A and B are shown apart, each in its own frame.
Chain A
Amino acid sequence: MTRHYSALSLLKEGLTGQRGWQPAWRSPEPKPRYDVVVVGGGGHGLATAYYLAKTHGIRDVAVIEKGWLGGGNTGRNTTVVRSNYFFPESAALYEMALKLYEGLSRELDFNIMLSQRGMLSLAHSPAEMELAARTVNAMQINGIDAELLSLDRVKSMIPAYDFGPTARYPVYGGVLQGRGGTARHDAVAWGYARGADRLGVDLIQNCEVEDFLVEGGRCRGVKTTRGVIRADRVGIAVAGHSSVLAEKAGFRLPVTSYTLQACITEPVKPILDCVVLAPALGTYVSQSDKGDLVFGGGLDRIPSYAQRGNLPVLETVIAGLVGMFPSFRQLKLMRQWAGIVDVVPDSSPILGESPLPGLFLNCGWGTGGFKAIPAGGVLLAHLLATGRHHEVSRPFDLDRFARGRLIDEAAGSGIAH
């Protein structure tokens, strides 16, 4: 009957043959009605359900997932967390997420293996060094930790990088966010799932939403492969499939779905103890606790729902990586995979009520949804509980496109999603 994870429960279970562990969450049958239904059992959906129950006391909640928990982009990202954005609105949003990540293992009683090993963005020319200084200034003005690094500092941080006179990608310096790093992506989903389940949330897997129940011009629930489920309010957090659900609800989103690839090498001894990004190449890499190098790059520039990458981008990403770290050439590639990301013209998320009243959106995170999971959960939960925006989510409402108030992080922080 052990459900709490602690040294004491490990000892107790060790002495009794490990027979008392309980499943981390139930697998209930869906009820015909809930106060709130959240569509999408990834990090954002599970976090939303957790904060609805924890912060707002709304425990009559179901999370509906067509596959398995955390099986979409939550299980396909490269586990990087950071808040090195340019505009104050973005800084407030992503810093909220990073601060929540910093306390999340304790909050959830589940080790998310947060490792704030530092996020290093390189500068490859004098002009890029000037932009790096601008980025550092913007981050510091927004209250985010940021440091402009000289070439010597970069050399001491990543000695395996090619700093030689014939280097393919010479370095002039970089931007360091020391509080950036990595977290175990599956653990974030599982921790929120377990936390939400213990507060009474029903997690319903293998249940696909086929349509929305609309009565009197308002969303009143969802029609699923396991029957109609009524709800006072419905939230959707389905990343690359947001447009598919929006079409069922009768509106369009400023979203294009693209493939984003990532890869992992065989495990090796410690060689890299921070996350390194070369903005000019789009290639970034970190080493997991297991020793494998996890790396990725830019989007496949072909709209797609295929969840597998095309070869030209893979070649670009790998060429970038071995240009940065020539010694990585000898490593074997173990796996390559892809997720479908929801890209928005201004590279900022969409949070708020949809054109169909009663239906609330959490989408548009593009290539950067994982780092934002705690904030996406807090803000969608706030919307679903109160019907109104949290001050942090207000600038990210869908209405910014008609109002012309875009938050263009592609231009601001050079983030290519």
Chain B
Amino acid sequence: MQLFPCPFCGPRAENEFHFGGDLGNVRPEGGASVSDATWSAYLHMRRNPKGPAREVWMHLTCGEIFALERDTVTHAVLGSHGFGEGSAS
């Protein structure tokens, strides 16, 4: 069992967490004027990197949504931080 660091609760078991996608995948503004290709890229296309990754995760037990940096080959956790005011990106 791997431990992931929740910024709110500290280290917790991996199966308490849910993967939420690429960090920095920002929803396109503009409503109906956004093209199908742009909207599809936001919804579906993924960076899916081999190696260091910056991802959004949710800690299911406390509801904290946070940024997790980890390596997808070694599974090493490189860092995590919450989305305080002004820190979301």
Contact = CB atoms under 8 A, between A and B. Distances in A.
A14 interface: no
Contact of A306 (B18, B55, B75): B75
A117 to B, nearest CB: 34
B1 A253 contact: no
A401 B44 contact: yes
A340 to B, nearest CB: 9
A403 B47 CA distance: 21
B48 A253 contact: yes
A306 B45 contact: no
B47 to A, nearest CB: 7
Interface string B41-53: 1011111111101
Interface string A389-410: 0000000000001111000000
Interface residues of B, number: 27
Given A303-B55, A304-B72, A402-B36, A243 B48 contact: yes
A304 B39 CA distance: 26
A302 B74 CA distance: 12
A252 B47 contact: yes
Give the interface size class of chain A. 20 to 34
Question: Which secondary structure dominates where chain B touches chain A?
Answer: mixed
A310 B46 contact: no
A310 B13 CA distance: 12
A114 B50 CA distance: 35
A311 B46 contact: no
B50 A254 contact: no
Nearest to B55: A303
Contacts of B53: 303
Given A253-B46, A310-B14, A401-B44, A303 B19 contact: yes
A305 B40 contact: no
A54 B41 CA distance: 37
B41 A306 contact: no
B51 to A, nearest CB: 8
B1 A244 contact: no
Nearest to A308: B75
Given A301-B19, A305-B72, A254 B46 contact: yes
Question: Which secondary structure dominates where chain A touches chain B?
Answer: mixed
A301 B50 contact: no
Interface in A367-417: 401-404
Nearest to A246: B48
Contact of A401 (B2, B15, B40, B51): B40
A223 to B, nearest CB: 18
Contacts of A311: 1
B27 to A, nearest CB: 16
Q: Which of A301, A401, A404 has the most CB of B within 10 A?
A: A401
Contacts of A255: 46, 48
Given A311-B1, A312-B14, A312-B15, A304 B48 contact: no
A257 B73 CA distance: 11
A282 interface: no
A330 B23 CA distance: 45
B26 interface: no
Interface string A291-323: 000000000011111100011100000000000
B37 interface: yes
A241 interface: yes
28 contacts: A241-B50, A243-B46, A243-B49, A244-B50, A247-B47, A247-B49, A256-B46, A257-B48, A257-B72, A301-B18, A301-B19, A303-B19, A303-B48, A303-B53, A303-B72, A304-B73, A305-B50, A305-B51, A305-B73, A306-B72, A306-B74, A310-B14, A401-B40, A401-B43, A401-B44, A401-B45, A402-B37, A402-B40
Kindly list the 5 A-B residue pairs having the minimum CB-CB distance in the complex, ordered from nearest.
A243-B48, A254-B44, A252-B45, A402-B40, A402-B36
Given A253-B46, A402-B39, 7 more contacts: A247-B47, A304-B75, A310-B2, A312-B14, A401-B43, A402-B37, A404-B36
